[in-house]
Homo-oligomer: A and B are copies of this chain.
């Protein structure tokens, strides 16, 4: 870069203060006046607040010699304000202009914006009220001040007041260049966010208005997609040691992973977050049919390793989920839909002595926490009533980088059964149906192509074998069956779900050979008839649900 700056800023003599959020403003202004003898320009509500606190101010209308007009819509949009901000103190021509036209320098702007976002969040805000909240003067002031950060300090965030006063005390009434620079950057980030919110709001309301020219898709997936994310956590590294990795929250989200509370253990890693995301989504998914039941889901590498529901007992659900593949459950992420009990904590930690990376539950019995906390590193994460907010959670689209861009889609959160259609002779009992849907749900989360064998037991349903993300359907069915057998599961009388249709009957034959009596998939192959015929020959139930659940 050409030209490193020397900081030539003079000490601050005049500040323009105009804030919507008045938190801390009286103290801040008082210190500017008392400690640094700064002249304060102000207007409207801010002026009244400062005056009633006994702080001397000059009204902007006196300073500009121009009256307030249009109910305060035009106050600071005046050459004496913007000249005062934009004049370059090191430019002789600018300074000559200032003298000629009697423009006084303004060295500090303290301003925050009308809370557009909060106002539109209220149910009773109509479009006119929202438009009224679009701040014009505020962004102009802070942008002008930020452009002039060589000469002007701009404070757009009330959390900064204390720090600024401290810096001024340490620097002869000045704020150091690098801080002014930071403050300027903060301004443009703030205005960018502010205007993105307005653009999205106007798009949304065009849709809802009768004169709609923008359809639902264009509203949800606009031509220019503006996303603003706030940093939440620096992870130790990304997916691998050489990659830097961070968790950000979506500034438009209502609820998300950043709202989870870690109660104990090491910092959550990047790969932990990937697994937590998958595990929370599986809990949200199973909760739809099993809110009254006990759910336990164990994850490895963003793939379910074992899932179980029990109609009554959390311990039984845990034992069954663990049994699917106890080898890979080592180092896994374990999720529960109900308060974690002491007996389950005892089972995992003291009886089975499993090393768990992350344990997720809405809350924890005190006795359970006591047992769990004996494991120094294990991350214990509470998610409260997260599972009751499925609708809000899935309002944002799913985004994923591809080279030079992103793929954006609706989350796949619609009902997993579109149309329940038994295609074969053999009848399907209610419990089999429940088990089939259970298996299909597991397959959904095990990445394409996947397959899951499941079985009812006296008080619940659990996975026997899960095959994840293979290139072909027949291999993944075989893999799931092999794994089930390896861990001693009896596949006779089991059910199987798989995330897309069978292109050939071979995948179905593998499942039946292994012991499955009923199979669920979406249907839709050009050879469906051939597959159905084969199922009838083998006397198993084949059900189509009409909804594919690919996931990559």
Find out whether the CB atom of A225 lies under 8 angstroms from the CB atom of B220: no
Find out whether the CB atom of B403 lies under 8 angstroms from the CB atom of A280: yes
Asked whether A246 and B409 contact (CB < 8 A) given A198-B188, A202-B181, A552-B301, the answer is: yes
Report the minimum CB–CB distance from A285 to chain B (whole Å): 12
| Complex CA distance for A547 and B238, rounded to whole angstroms | 13
Asked if A479 lies at the interface with its beta carbon under 8 angstroms from chain B, I say: yes
Find out whether the CB atom of A471 lies under 8 angstroms from the CB atom of B301: yes
Asked if A54 lies at the interface with its beta carbon under 8 angstroms from chain B, I say: no
Q: Which residues in B have their C-beta under 8 angstroms from that of A245?
A: 407-410
Across the interface, name the chain B residue whose C-beta is closest to A304: B471
Across the interface, name the chain B residue whose C-beta is closest to A125: B2
**Closest 8 A-B residue pairs measured CB to CB?**
A256-B404, A238-B409, A469-B469, A188-B199, A2-B126, A253-B404, A192-B195, A277-B402
Q: Which residues in B have their C-beta under 8 angstroms from that of A229?
A: 224-227, 405-406, 408
Report the minimum CB–CB distance from A305 to chain B (whole Å): 5
Q: Which residues in B have their C-beta under 8 angstroms from that of A103?
A: 69
Q: Which of A258-287 contact B (CB under 8 A)?
A: 258-259, 270-271, 273-274, 276-277, 280-281
| Complex CA distance for A128 and B148, rounded to whole angstroms | 10
Report the minimum CB–CB distance from A510 to chain B (whole Å): 12
Q: Which of A58-117 contact B (CB under 8 A)?
A: 66-67, 69-71, 73-74, 77-79, 81-83, 86-88, 91, 93-94, 97-98, 101, 103
> Interface code A168-206, partner B: CB below 8 Å = 1, 0 otherwise?
000000001111011011101101111110110011011
A-B contact pairs, 9 of them (CB 8 A): A69-B98, A74-B79, A139-B143, A188-B202, A217-B234, A247-B406, A274-B552, A447-B469, A469-B469
Chain A interface residue count: which class? Answer: 35 or more
| Complex CA distance for A71 and B98, rounded to whole angstroms | 11
Q: Which residues in B have their C-beta under 8 angstroms from that of A406?
A: 229, 247-248, 250, 399
Tell which of A18-26, A208-216, A308-316 binds the partner: A208-216
Question: Out of B196, B232, B448, B548, which one reaches A405, CB within 8 Å?
Answer: B232
| Complex CA distance for A273 and B552, rounded to whole angstroms | 12
Q: Which of A28-78 contact B (CB under 8 A)?
A: 66-67, 69-71, 73-74, 77-78
Question: Out of B127, B185, B328, B474, which one reaches A1, CB within 8 Å?
Answer: B127
| Complex CA distance for A300 and B325, rounded to whole angstroms | 26
Find out whether the CB atom of A271 lies under 8 angstroms from the CB atom of B301: no
Report the minimum CB–CB distance from A535 to chain B (whole Å): 21
Report the minimum CB–CB distance from A499 to chain B (whole Å): 9
Asked if A427 lies at the interface with its beta carbon under 8 angstroms from chain B, I say: no
Find out whether the CB atom of A399 lies under 8 angstroms from the CB atom of B396: no
Find out whether the CB atom of A412 lies under 8 angstroms from the CB atom of B243: yes
Q: Which of A398-421 contact B (CB under 8 A)?
A: 398-412, 414, 418
Asked if A160 lies at the interface with its beta carbon under 8 angstroms from chain B, I say: no
Question: Out of B3, B86, B227, B280, which one reaches A73, CB within 8 Å?
Answer: B86
Asked whether A191 and B193 contact (CB < 8 A) given A228-B226, A399-B406, the answer is: no
Asked if A255 lies at the interface with its beta carbon under 8 angstroms from chain B, I say: yes
Asked if A293 lies at the interface with its beta carbon under 8 angstroms from chain B, I say: no
Find out whether the CB atom of B4 lies under 8 angstroms from the CB atom of A189: no
Asked if A551 lies at the interface with its beta carbon under 8 angstroms from chain B, I say: yes
Across the interface, name the chain B residue whose C-beta is closest to A469: B469
Find out whether the CB atom of A409 lies under 8 angstroms from the CB atom of B244: yes
Asked if A457 lies at the interface with its beta carbon under 8 angstroms from chain B, I say: no
Asked if A549 lies at the interface with its beta carbon under 8 angstroms from chain B, I say: yes
Asked if A530 lies at the interface with its beta carbon under 8 angstroms from chain B, I say: no
Q: Which residues in B have their C-beta under 8 angstroms from that of A405?
A: 229, 232, 247-250, 253, 256-258
Asked if A327 lies at the interface with its beta carbon under 8 angstroms from chain B, I say: yes
Asked if A373 lies at the interface with its beta carbon under 8 angstroms from chain B, I say: no
Asked if A475 lies at the interface with its beta carbon under 8 angstroms from chain B, I say: yes
Find out whether the CB atom of B471 lies under 8 angstroms from the CB atom of A239: no
Question: Out of B182, B468, B474, which one reaches A471, CB within 8 Å?
Answer: B468
Report the minimum CB–CB distance from A326 to chain B (whole Å): 11
Find out whether the CB atom of B407 lies under 8 angstroms from the CB atom of A471: no
Residue from A179, A471, A548, A551 with most neighbouring chain B CB atoms (10 Å) = A471
Asked whether A247 and B407 contact (CB < 8 A) given A225-B231, A240-B548, the answer is: yes
Asked if A521 lies at the interface with its beta carbon under 8 angstroms from chain B, I say: no
Across the interface, name the chain B residue whose C-beta is closest to A486: B475
| Complex CA distance for A479 and B3, rounded to whole angstroms | 60
Q: Which residues in B have their C-beta under 8 angstroms from that of A257?
A: 402-405
Find out whether the CB atom of B101 lies under 8 angstroms from the CB atom of A472: no
Asked if A221 lies at the interface with its beta carbon under 8 angstroms from chain B, I say: yes
Q: Which residues in B have their C-beta under 8 angstroms from that of A407?
A: 245-248, 270, 273-274
| Complex CA distance for A482 and B81, rounded to whole angstroms | 77
